[in-house]
Amino acid sequence: MNFFQRIASTFQQQGKLAQIIIINVAVFLMVNISDHILRIPVLKYLALPIGGYEFIYKFWTLFTYMFTHASLGHIFFNMLLFYFTAQLFYLILGEKKLFYVYVMSGLSGGAFLLICGLIFPDSFSASYLIGASAGVMGVVMVMALYAPNYVVHLFGVIQMPYKYFAMLTFVLSTVLDFSLNTGGKISHIGGALFGLAYGYFLKKGIDMFDFSFMTRKKTKLKIVSYNKMPDEEYNLMRANAERRMNELLDKISKSGYDSLTKKEKDELFNLSQKK
């Protein structure tokens, strides 16, 4: 196994949370080494161009921008917030949904800003978008709707329900001084909107990550017509699982995650993987 195969193997063994952070850090190092040492301007091929029609020739940047950072402070605070909120997301909803929500929120944030750039081209002329903020904001907002009363500890001192933490994060990073980094803050709104939509439908029992929900009604009719009992048993089992998960989440909201026994933690993890 050569050096690159070893790196690829190690990367694949990581969870989605670690993989997203590793990709962001790797792109950050590549950008800075290329720009400042090799004098190769790769940033312009990764950043999302806003205003005008340059995006048509760089369509891939709608995906690459959300993994791209130029400054140390930018990537540090984005990854810090992502790590903090993704821990809760991973615990309750599982790692597969984490990557989906991060990417879809990033795409939504970038697309929202592109539309604004086409409507108001003079406001965003010759500007570019980079950073994971829109993707991270989507993850934050999913948990704000799905587990609003989960108690978080800021700096190990201040306790507050997660919904207030999400609101505070959105206000400080997006609403406050909208004239500064306006394009980035507009992308935050797009990412937050996707996160809110995903969390809302998830609480209704509709998972936008599971595309079979589009045909679920037809499938359900077939099951009812030919074999009613299996469908009733499945619904009962699912209802019991949802009830048990809500009981565990309520306990976490009141007393914190550490109040769960090892058995309850394992049970919560197993239930989250079935979602």
Taking the chain (275 residues) in runs of 10, the rounded mean pLDDT of each run is 66 78 95 91 92 87 96 94 88 84 96 90 80 96 88 77 91 84 91 94 82 52 46 70 75 64 75 61
CA distance 57 to 66: 18
CA distance 148 to 113: 28
State whether residue 15 is helix, strand or coil: coil
CA distance 44 to 130: 10
Nearest residue to 109 via CA among 62, 142, 76, 69: 62
Report pLDDT for 232.
66
Report pLDDT for 82.
93
158: part of which helix (H) or strand (E)? strand 158-161
Rg (CA), the chain: 21
Mutual orientation of helices 95-119 and 16-36 as an angle, nearest 10°?
Answer: 50
Report pLDDT for 222.
43
Report pLDDT for 213.
53
CA distance 16 to 61: 21
Residues in the chain: 275
State whether residue 177 is helix, strand or coil: coil
Q: Quickly count: other Cβ atoms within 10 Å of residue 140's Cβ.
A: 28
Contacts of 207 (CB under 8 A, 6+ apart): 97, 201, 213, 275
Residue carrying the six token digits 């590549």: 30
Report pLDDT for 151.
81
Sign of the Cα pseudo-torsion (199, 189, 176, 79, in order): positive
